[in-house]
Amino acid sequence: MDLNDYRTQLDAIDNQMAELFRQRMSVVKDIADYKKANSAPVLAPNRERDILYRVTGLAGEELEEYTKILYSTILELSRDYQEDRLTTGESPLCRKILESVDTTGDFPSRAVVACQGIEGAYSQIACDKMFALPQIMYFNRFDGVFRAVEAGMCRYGILPIENSSAGSVTEVYDLMEKYNCKIVRSLRLKIEHCLLANPGVKLSDVKEVVAHEQALNQCSEFLKNNKIKITVFSNNAAAAKYVSESGRTDLAAIASAGCADLYGLKVLTGHVANSDHNYTRFICISKQMEIFHGANKITFVASTSHRPGSLYSLIAKFATRGLNICKLESRPIPGKDFEFRFYFDVEASVRSKDTQTILSQLEKEDFFTFLGAYSEVS
């Protein structure tokens, strides 16, 4: 026999497997209808455990692990199919989402916007890129931005959520838990950190650098190589202003080049970040759910049960429908040991029936929060 003969055999076996799979899913459909009529849960862990034990034993020791993977996938698909059958009509969340899609319209050009920091901060730069005519209100801390939006003082707030080299801004993730705000847009901004000092200061004079913690992390190699003391500041622009007002010749700030013009400083050196490929992703939040035209990404937070494969089951809901999870971030649940919630960014349109089905299923879970549907600009 040659390779083509073997492939012919496989084709015949695959045809049989496809027909048997169709038959199996037909029975699964009947089971789903029975469970729906009798208010029975989809998940039957003892039953699934018995199936895995039986079929792996039939496959033999050599194929035991492969069979476990195959049937775990089949069982996951069966559960997903049952949940589809049990999910009828629009869920409260999906109704709210579709109402927002129909009523929101285009992203506004002008608005009152809350930003952390002062003039010259990267949040202000991001704000000016998102809005043509923003009226900016500045706050010292990230939670001030959330509180301003929640209280209705500002319609929107701009916050950094992650950096390409320093990772996620964990404080913002934690505040997303605390405040009931929605993401309405995001922006990918190239960050070009510079070392700023008072006129006449040379690089060799600098003994201390002030900046936000994220900026210090992003420029750690430069600071280590030059053996410079670091001091954490609430904001890079505020650090630049502090250097200007101090008059010190041994002090510098890490901030944007624009801050040099704003606060009468000079650029000692540019490109002090660890990587030239340094981007920060900013989110725009709102108190109300606003889904603007062109929204192609969703963000939500969910927790999973303590059973093997629970996170995989959640991820599989998107994989089986061809939806790309572009970010998965875990955060510890306050007050619980070694328990986590997961933040998902998924490339998906809320107009899609597949997306609506998944969201309807997730809405039934013990902990699930939809954080917004939006588009990302640059």
For residue 100, which amino acid is it? S
Q: Is 299 noted as a catalytic residue in this protein?
A: no
* Backbone φ, ψ for residue 319 (5° rounding): -60, -45
Q: Round to whole Å and give the CA distance between 300 and 304.
A: 13
Spatial neighbors of 168 by CB under 8 A, at least 6 apart, are 161, 162, 329
C-beta of residue 327 within 8 angstroms of C-beta of residue 297 = no
Q: Is 282 noted as a catalytic residue in this protein?
A: yes
Hey, what's the torsion of the CAs at 282, 287, 290, 292, to 10 degrees? Answer: -30
Which of 131, 282, 318, 344 does the annotation list as catalytic? 282
Q: Round to whole Å and give the CA distance between 189 and 275.
A: 14
Instruction: Name the residue among 176, 179, 265, 254 with its Cα closest to residue 217.
Output: 254
Which of 87, 104, 280, 299 does the annotation list as catalytic? 280
Angle, helix 122-130 to helix 236-246, in steps of 10 degrees: 130
Active site residues: 280, 282
